[in-house]
Amino acid sequence: MEKSDTTLIKARDIPAALGLLTRFPIVMDFETAQARSAQAPWAYPIVGAILGVLAVCFGMVLQITGIDDRLIAGLILAFLTITTGAMHEDGLADSLDGLWGGWEKTRRLEIMKDSSIGAYGVIGLILSMGMRWAGLFMLLSHDMLWGLIAIAALSRAAMVPMMHALPLARAGGLSYDVGRPSVYTASIAILLASAIACLTLGLTAIIVLIATFIATAIWGMIAYRKIGGQTGDILGVTQQIAEITALIVLTACINSAV
């Protein structure tokens, strides 16, 4: 199949997106997936919603056993990390090391490509995992774990407009292989995630959406200033920032309503 398959939406984009963003054993022809790589990101929020539903079901089963909510929050976090192959966490560590460990673009990109981890990456991972754990614990404590479905969808959708808006910072890597989605693909991803969030969270979704947009936009400006665009690692941080922001805002809304 030619690389120029530009049809806006196809059903096979969903398994292609699942194969890219998760470690699920998805069987799909490589040429077919490659031909749709720049169009398939519209399905990223669907992948997020699937992960969210699975994580919620996993957490509910654990609650039945009587395990403490603090441990359940940690196990859900482990479940999400394992099912995604820690790809977003890896992007977070690499990006923080590179963007703040180097003094100019070329050196920053070199550090980001290095498999070793530095102080910025370690500190970033500790803070990210800690805040996500605390957010999950709060959702469990207020019987709002189903809000994770919206958060998982929104955080995956946030990567798509970033892929469209920012140029590629290097020739090579995962983001280069996928390509830049069109404005229509990015719009579909945003609309899908917004619909999932509204169905799950009601009017609270509006506040979460606005906060997530602001946070990811700020991150996009930082990435552009530091390396002139985006890479797969930058997109990984985008997912993490969107997830953390959504968790913070949602738990704040829950607390203010109590």
Q: What is the pLDDT of residues 116-158, one digit of tens each?
A: 999 999 999 999 999 999 999 999 999 999 999 999 999 999 9
Residue 101 reports pLDDT greater than 70? yes
Residue 7 reports pLDDT greater than 90? no
Per-residue pLDDT at 134: 98
pLDDT-based confidence at 247, cuts 50/70/90? very high
The per-residue pLDDT of the chain, averaged, comes to 92
- Among candidate residues 243, 200, 195, the one with its CA nearest the CA of residue 53: 200
pTM of the full structure: 0.93
Per-residue pLDDT at 1: 39
Mean pLDDT, residues 96-101: 95
Per-residue pLDDT at 256: 87
